[in-house]
Structure 1
Amino acid sequence: MGVVLTLRVDADTVSRTRLSPSPASESMAWLKLTAASGRHPVFGDPGPLARASLAHPDVALLADLLPRNGDTYTPDLLTPQPGTGGRRRDLLDEQIAQIEAAAQDDLENQVFTYTRTHWSRPLRDTTRRIAESGRMQRRLANGLARFWRDTLSDGWPELRSIIDQDIAHRATAIATHGVGRMLGTLHPDIEWAGDAVTIAKPWDGEIDVIGRDLVLAPSVLSWPDVIIQVDTPGQFVLYHPAQRVGAGRGQRAGSIAQVVGNARAALLADLETARSTAELATRIGYAPGTVSYHLSALHRAGLVTKVRAGRSVLYRRTAQAASLLEEAHIAH
């Protein structure tokens, strides 16, 4: 394999291996692309909803802790090891809670020491002061929750479907061939050596992960990268590209690339004519509060306009929104 990073494991590690989605990791991948004005190789532009979310100070703080200009290190505290929540929403809630509960020593070690070692740019003074104040954990947790609500929550079922299919495939491989054999089929850069997982990286190294949980997290929005996470004590996560993401460029791109999702797409489709929140709720079948929430996000992103007409506020989609709907129609 050439230059490799070796993750030394034992039978205990293998016995504690599990597969799980990581909503926080998917969010960070999408936020990184958004902040860098980048495009996903398959899903394209993160879209106006994601860019509008960056205006929130807590989302901007979160983005300031992500690598840029060729750097690769992301503080592990931003993507906590997925827990074992029984309901799908529990996974994100647990990760947000872990960010907020991060120990100050761990935060300063990752934000100050590791970024200084791995980044080509210095940490901004304002970001440093927030970290030193002890308020950073709460603001980062709020930033993740806000970015998720603004950009990924409505489109998550489609992303989760891709991830669940990969997990089902890996589970079948474990049942048929065992954990070790499955580990060796995650990605061409990953091999199973009997007592270690080896990963092709630009550097040599060895990390002892004996006795830790091994969480395998299929990744969609950081596809096609292989990412390891070992800096938070007691946590070991290996992110690998989910199957089928690159099979047929543009699959599902219409809805996912713009992260509009079904609810917002339905609203935009019905806003060729100006309508009120109450009228939309009746026509679409959503609660007025839900419609209002989605309209607010769409307005911040410049996808709808609003004007007051008497005692009502009327919304109408913009030319940009019409263009996104047309792209989605063509992609499907």
Structure 2
Amino acid sequence: MTLLRLGPDALRASRFALSPLAETLSRLIVLRRELDGGRPSPQAQVLAGWLDGDPFAAGLLRLVSATKFLPDFVAIPPSSMTTRIADELAQMRAVADSEARATIAESRRFAWMTSSIAWADADGITTCAAAVFARGWQWFVEPDWPRRRAVMERDIRHRAGVLAAHGWRQAISGIGKIRWAGPDAILFSTQTHADLPIGDHGLVLVPHTGTVGQWMCESPPRFALVYPARGALEQLHLAEEGVARLIGQGRARILATLEDPTTPSQLAVMLGVSLGTVSGHLATLRDAGAVFGRRSGRAVYYERTSLGDALAGRLLHQQEAVHPTPGGS
């Protein structure tokens, strides 16, 4: 087992942050695994064309999508809710080639698919890696960043509310496979590695919008845990059949998104539609008894009823049957 050890000072300093780099890594891993799965989406096909002409990018993404130990230079702890991709890539480029090669070799040792790492022999490894992630960000994440950010911010708001009311033990409940393993320990992995003592810098918790995958970012004394956000963006792409066809794709996507209380404006951003469209769908769902609204100050937060929960559960079950989720990283 691998335990994260957090004393009282570490817990007091722990907090949430956003990471454009972690989101880009998550997206690239999903697309790379789609190529292995034989059912590539249009974006995965774009990635395939890129990798065909870029051996370095092909080797790096093959490794990070098939290992239990990510190279340190692709897993950089973010600092705040306003972390910029440019700053993260600058930190990546600052890693020396010797350090990069050592962590690549360690990553390969924990990979479940053996492949050559000859691509790492060139000079300027992390400069090349930063260029890969800059392109991945520009092509596959940045155009959709407002929606992705809205999903992650909603997860953080939810967990921050639980934290204020019940403490860290409840706030991390449901984050991947991690769980409390004692008064000062979190079970991060069933793999046998040395425990990680988290010092008074605290643990930074970082959501991403993929449906699976959690990893540690380690740059002592800074540590971050990246985890799938509740209501991950990929869960919004529902199968066009069954209940979704009966109630309509727009209303189906709203039900799938309402895992936590959400305002119409937040829904509009997350779903990429107009506020008027969202309001119309919510009115229909409310009249059908699938959702209800609760006012908080000037905002109205919508939630699913028991009927809405049942419909959403059926929708997501259909999605999993049609689009199986790839394994965790």
Give TM-score scaled by structure 1 length. 0.62
- Deviations 1:150-204 (CA, angstroms, capped at 9, x unpaired): 2211011111111110011111112222234323453454226321112352547
Structure 2 contact 73–126 (Cα < 8 Å) conserved: no
When the two chains are superposed, the root-mean-square deviation of aligned CA atoms in Å is: 3.6
Pair 1:250–1:179, CA change in 2 (3 A)? same
What's the CA shift string for 1:60-119, capped at 9, x where partnerless? 354244243xx3322121121112364xxx421121111111133431220124423555
Structure 1 gap ranges (5+): 255-261, 266-332
- Distance in 2 (alpha carbons) for counterparts of 1:118 and 1:207: 21
Q: How does 1:86-97 map to 2 (within 5 A)?
A: 86=82, 90-97=83-90
2:167 is aligned with 1:173? no
Distance 2:84 2:192 in 1: 33
1:15 alignment partner AA: R
Encode CA deviations 1:243-294: one digit per residue, 9 max, x unaligned: 122896625999xxxxxxx9xx9xxxxxxxxxxxxxxxxxxxxxxxxxxxxx
Query: Which has the higher mean CA deviation after the structures are superposed, 138-147 or 237-246?
Result: 237-246
Query: Alignment identity in percent?
Result: 20
Q: Which moves more between the two structures, 165-174 or 30-39?
A: 30-39
User: Which of 215, 222, 239 in structure 2 is aligned with 1:227?
Assistant: 215
Please tell me whether the aligned partners of residues 169 and 180 of structure 2 are also in contact (alpha carbons under 8 angstroms): no
Distance 1:189 1:116, change over 3 A: closer
Cα contact 1:61–1:143 (8 A) shared by 2: no
Q: Taking structure 1 as reference, are residues 202 and 85 closer, same or farther at Cα in structure 2, changes over 3 Å only?
A: closer
Q: Is the 8 A contact 1:9 1:210 kept in 2?
A: yes
Looking at structure 1, the residues matched to 111 and 58 of structure 2 have their Cα atoms a distance apart, in angstroms, of 21
CA contact (8 A) 2:72 2:103 kept: yes
Normalising by structure 2, we get a TM-score of 0.62
Matched letter for residue 91 of structure 1: R
Post-superposition offset of 1:212? 4.2
Q: Which has the higher contact order (CA 8 A, sep 6+)?
A: 1
Distance 1:227 1:79, change over 3 A: closer
Where do 5+ consecutive residues of structure 2 fail to align?
241-248, 250-268, 273-329
Q: 1:25 to 1:121 in 2, by over 3 A?
A: same
Does residue 82 in structure 1 map to residue 78 in structure 2?
A: yes
State the match for 1:308 in structure 2: none
Q: Aligned partners of 2:137, 2:53: CA distance in 1, in Å?
A: 12
Q: Which SS does the other structure have where 2:138 is aligned?
A: helix
Q: Number of residue pairs matched?
A: 243
Q: Is the 8 A contact 2:206 2:225 kept in 1?
A: yes
CA contact (8 A) 1:83 1:94 kept: no
1:121 and 2:109 correspond? no
